[in-house]
Structure 1
Amino acid sequence: MRRVALVVAAAGILVEGLVVASLLFVLGGVVDAYSMSLNGTDPSHAQAAIRVAAVGLGVLLAALAAALLLAAIRRRPARGPAMAGLVAQCVVTTIAGVALGWEVFGGTLLVLGTLLYVLLDERPDRGLRPVNRI
């Protein structure tokens, strides 16, 4: 069951990372196209900062998804920096789900549930056990 939860969590985080990074990247273009000043900054600097944040966030979420997928392949729980990323992702997923409305909350609830399962599951995964026949 852990393997399925890890794969679902990795897929959810990867999709979330792609959506958030692409929206931020587009937002950076909007800021520059309309010469929007974010707290008095130059629009080109604001665009660059937003796009750097988009790429950085996308890369971090893709790395977390890759770590979860690697843990699923190895049939081991996620450890080390992946655990810190999972805790941070649980908080971000909860806030995003509540802030973006009920439609998004359903999807984020699925991702949050799998993330919590992955965080709290400490049992070793032994795979399928052979059936003893008499």
Structure 2
Amino acid sequence: MRMVALVIAAVGILVEGVVVGAALFVVGGVIGAYSMSLNGADPGHAQVAIRIAAVVLGALLVALGARLLLAALRQRAARRWTIVALVVQCVVVTIAGVALGWEVFAGTLLVLGTLFYVLLDESDEPARALSGS
């Protein structure tokens, strides 16, 4: 069951990384296109800062998702990375719930639940493949 939970969490975080990174990158483009000032900041600097944040946050989420997927394929627990993913996921769930509505909130909550399961699963047995081998 741990492998299934890790795969669900990994796919969810990979999707979130791509979506969050792309959305922030687009916001950076909008700021540049309309010369929007963020609290008096230079629009060029604001655009660069948001695009850097988009790339960094997107890359971190994709890396966490890839690490969880690798842990699932190796049939091992990913304790350290799971804790980091939980913290990032809690932040993403909060932002998504406030900004994007209940559908996105429900999806990110599913990923958070699978991460909690993996984290709290204290069985020493290695994860088993879906075929039962």
- Give the structure-1-normalised TM-score: 0.87
Residue of structure 1 equivalent to 2:27 = 27
Aligned residues: 128
Gaps of 5+ in 1: 130-134
Task: Give a deviation string over 1:5-33, Cα, whole Å, max 9, x none.
Answer: 10110000000111110000000000010
Which amino acid in structure 2 is aligned with residue 125 of structure 1?
P
Name the amino acid aligned to 1:98: G
Q: Give the conservation status (yes or no) of the 8 Å contact 2:96–2:104.
A: yes
In structure 2, what is the equivalent of residue 125 of structure 1? Answer: 126
Alignment partner, residue 14 of structure 2:
14
Match of 1:48 in 2: 48
State the match for 1:132 in structure 2: none
* Alignment match, 1:113: 113
Q: How far apart, CA to CA, are the structure 2 residues paired with 1:40 and 1:93?
A: 27
Which of the pair has more CA radius of gyration?
1
Partner of 1:74: 74
Residue 97 of structure 1: CA displacement?
A: 4.3
Quick one: distance in 1 between partners of 2:95 and 2:121?
A: 24
| Correspondence for 1:84 | 83
> Is the contact made by 1:93 and 1:112 (CA closer than 8 Å) also made in structure 2?
no
Q: Distance in 1 between matches of 2:89 and 2:47?
A: 28
Alignment partners' CA distance in 2, 1:67 and 1:16: 15
Structure 2 runs not aligned, ≥5 long: none
Q: Which fold has the larger relative contact order, with Cα–Cα distance below 8 Å and residues 6 or more apart in sequence?
A: 2
Using the size of structure 2 for normalisation, the TM-score is: 0.88
SS of 2:79's partner is coil
Give the deviation of 1:48 after TM superposition. Answer: 0.4
Deviating above 2 A after TM superposition, structure 1's stretches of 4 or more consecutive aligned residues are: 124-129
Identity of aligned residues (%): 62
Q: Distance in 2 between matches of 1:54 and 1:62?
A: 12
